[in-house]
Amino acid sequence: MNNTSCPRVNFHFEHIFLPPVLIVVFIIGLVANGWGLKSLLHNWKKLGNVNVFVLNLGLADILYLLTLPFLVVYYFMESKWIFGDAFCKITRFCFNMNLYGSIGFLTCISVYRYLAIVHPMRVHGRVTVTHSVWISVLVWLLVSVQSLPDIFYIKSAENKTECYETTDQTHVEDYLKYSFGRTITGFFIPFLITLGCYGHVMVVLCRTSTIDKVLKQRSLRLLFILILLFSVCYIPFYLLKNLNLWVRVLTKRKMCHVWFNGVYIAHQISRGLVCLNSALNPLVYLHGNEDILAQLGILLQRARRAVMLLSTTQSIL
């Protein structure tokens, strides 16, 4: 440990890493969510009550995706925010709404799947679209309550050219407490609920031979998607975000370690990974809607034919 000087942190890394990631997420996420929501609404009557949550999941993704072009400009300009302090807070608020909203609606989907498979007779005819709508409203309210305090933290430097993901160094200790509490309520508890639901579902699927094979396959696909989302997008982000805040607290107290730069870079990578949730969430549409899979197969065939035709034309020329 060095109490006199801290190792140099590579703050330039985020300007190199984040812009291309955000551009890819914006393009793929906007196309995938738009296509998925269109198909979802077109086949609404064929699908179950869980699609109310899928619809809200898509809306949460689009809410965040629309802010990405502004963040791309910000990081390309070496952290120079030109859109005003109010819009900076709105942009960060949209990110939090997407993040905690996605986790909330994925948890609701997990609970509904759990009830449909483990307790089908108890919930048959008792769970309606109206219930799903009211639960969705409740999720949005809880997410808003969790995210609203973040607006009141300082998001810009004195020169008003930066747009902090969290807050400035002066209030970092208070923000760490807020972030830790929000991690418990907004991520850890929903994660345990999701884990418990699908753990029980897997036990029931393995023990029962009378359950429809299609239902088993869909449940296994959804389980894989959730494992992918939590393992790649959410778990690294929450761990490294709070660790990075703690590093900032230690730095403020003049306590330095050689691994501070590694934590910062890992945190920036986790920020890129958590943005991927807006591009990966449409996999939930694919899991529940066979029509989308058929349409995807047709598009892939057309793309393959187009590539083959293009290569043939070039060889002739």
Structural domain boundaries in the chain: 13-316
Distance of CA 233 to the CA centre of its chain: 6
23: nearest Cα among 75, 88, 69, 90:
69
Mean pLDDT, residues 231-253 taken together: 93
pLDDT at 1 over 50: no
The confidence score (pLDDT) of residue 128 equals: 82
Say which residue the tokens 């609606």 belong to.
105
* CATH of region 13-316, choose from 1.10.10.10, 1.20.1070.10, 3.40.50.720, 2.60.320.10: 1.20.1070.10
Q: What is the pLDDT, as a whole number, of residue 6?
A: 65
At residue 10, φ and ψ (nearest 5 deg) are -85, 80
pLDDT tens, 192-205? 999 998 888 888 87
Nearest by Cα to 280 from 230, 214, 217: 230
User: pLDDT at residue 316 above 70?
Assistant: no
Average pLDDT over residues 27-44: 82
- Any idea which of 8-12, 87-91, 182-186, 228-232 has the lowest mean pLDDT? 8-12
Per the model's pLDDT, the better-predicted residue between 296 and 54 turns out to be: 54
Asked if 227 and 172 count as a contact pair (C-beta separation under 8 A), the reply is no
Phi, psi of 84 (to 5 degrees): 95, 155
Can you give the pLDDT at residue 186? Answer: 94
Greater model confidence, 153 or 41: 153
CB count in 10 Å sphere of residue 314: 8
Length of the chain: 317
- Residue 250, both tokens: 């230690």
- For residue 2, give the DSSP letter: B
Residue 14's pLDDT band, with cuts at 50, 70 and 90, is confident
> Comparing 21-25, 68-72, 225-229, which segment has the lowest mean pLDDT?
225-229
User: Which has more pLDDT, 206 or 59?
Assistant: 59
pLDDT of 314: 57
Phi and psi angles of residue 256, each rounded to the nearest 5 degrees, phi first: -125, 150
Tokens of 143: 């997410």
Helices (H) and strands (E) in the chain, counts: 14, 0
Tell me what the pLDDT averaged over the chain comes to. 84
Angle of helix 213-228 relative to helix 85-118, nearest 10 degrees, comes to 150
What is the per-residue burial (b if ≥16 Cβ within 10 Å, else e) of 63-92?
bbbebbebbbebbeeebebeeeeeebbbbb
Query: Would you say residue 47 has pLDDT above 60?
Result: no
**Which CA distances in Å does 33 have to 56, 137, 223?**
11, 21, 20
Residue 291, pLDDT above cutoff 70: no
Q: Between 215 and 53, name the one with better pLDDT.
A: 53
Residue 3 is predicted with a pLDDT of 45
CA–CA separation, 47 and 123 (whole Å): 16
| The Cα angle at residue 183 between residues 143 and 238, in degrees rounded to 5 | 115
